[in-house]
Structure 1
């Protein structure tokens, strides 16, 4: 008597995360986000320049950083920030930020629209955690807060910590993903990623060095000079 052959039943998971994704919802959220930031900008403009702002700091710069900080807490801000800089003729002054926003917005919109590398995109969005402290640090610099105060030092240290853990590390993982998962995507999309993300990574490395030099190395150098005078 022949043994009955076991039959394997394959169950197809309909919720595979591809067809179930509604791209229009992402575009709607993006549009609503920009409208919200424009509304906040109108409110901030109505109140005008705060008295605590340092002399020489432009109202636009303070307003842009303030709204970017609010945006970092709520949702990503690339498109609004890019629009704000372009309309206020800051594209040549802050060209590296404009380049960063253009590259990242282009590749993310393309990826989300075509439902490609969504997991990597989500990992990259952890950099917005760092943006909270990055913009808060800049806001403190614009005001009359002492750089040696506990508040500024706390924000500066949290900024450096989250810059490494939430910005540089995820981006390094993405760069490694080019090697491990590059064969799983089309050549044209792979070339697009190679032309965008590495440039953004280099920009972030330069930004990290500037912050490290300003908040740590300069402070250590100042302490050494003070010790030499005491001797």
Structure 2
């Protein structure tokens, strides 16, 4: 399910960015962008439920907290129609998740770095990690910071507190 979500979310976010040129990073909200974020929000809710029912959260508190924070921010953004383009860009990190899940599946069936396809997947995983999980979030944070005066106060403060709380939990 995670691999399907990653592929669908990455494809939807690329489609949104290719079809709907973004004029206003804070207040733009196309129907396709709403679908893109809604699909991911639904997945996060499903995965949260699955983690709780399967007691997987015992080993991964951070992922559970991450799902709560992301779902809260996505629902707020969709409800208020604020910052949707920024969140669509952040869904590009699912490109990295595609490679992560692919590498994991290949590893589970016995592939090693000696296999050319596995080695290419491993390299794609790290290249996409750097671009989608380091550079993109940095660019989005810069953009949000520059646009902070355009956000409704409650959205900016709420998302900032959620982000800081999540960062604090990761560093414990």
Alignment TM-score, normalising by the size of structure 2: 0.71
Q: Which has the higher helix share?
A: 2
Identify the residue that residue 78 of structure 1 maps to in structure 2.
44
Identify the residue that residue 2 of structure 2 maps to in structure 1.
68
Distance 1:138 1:203, change over 3 A: farther
**2:133 and 2:80 mapped to 1: Cα distance?**
24
The answer for unaligned runs of 5 or more in structure 1 is 1-66, 207-231
Deviations 1:29-55 (A, max 9, x none): xxxxxxxxxxxxxxxxxxxxxxxxxxx
Which of the pair has the greater relative contact order for Cα pairs under 8 Å at 6+ separation?
2
Alignment pair present for 1:182 and 2:112: no
**2:129 and 2:102 mapped to 1: Cα distance?**
13
2:58 partner SS:
coil
Identify the residue that residue 128 of structure 2 maps to in structure 1.
162
Please say which structure displays the higher CA radius of gyration: 1
CA contact (8 A) 1:171 1:201 kept: no
CA contact (8 A) 2:6 2:98 kept: yes
Instruction: Pick the aligned partner of 2:95 from 111, 114, 129.
Output: 129
Identify the residue that residue 160 of structure 2 maps to in structure 1.
194
Distance 1:113 1:96, change over 3 A: same
Distance 1:102 1:145, change over 3 A: same
Identify the residue that residue 109 of structure 1 maps to in structure 2.
75
CA RMSD of aligned residues (A): 2.3
CA contact (8 A) 1:103 1:197 kept: yes
Identify the residue that residue 209 of structure 1 maps to in structure 2.
none
Deviations 1:146-184 (A, max 9, x none): 243222221111111111212322211122123211111
**1:136 and 1:175 mapped to 2: Cα distance?**
29
**1:101 and 1:113 mapped to 2: Cα distance?**
18
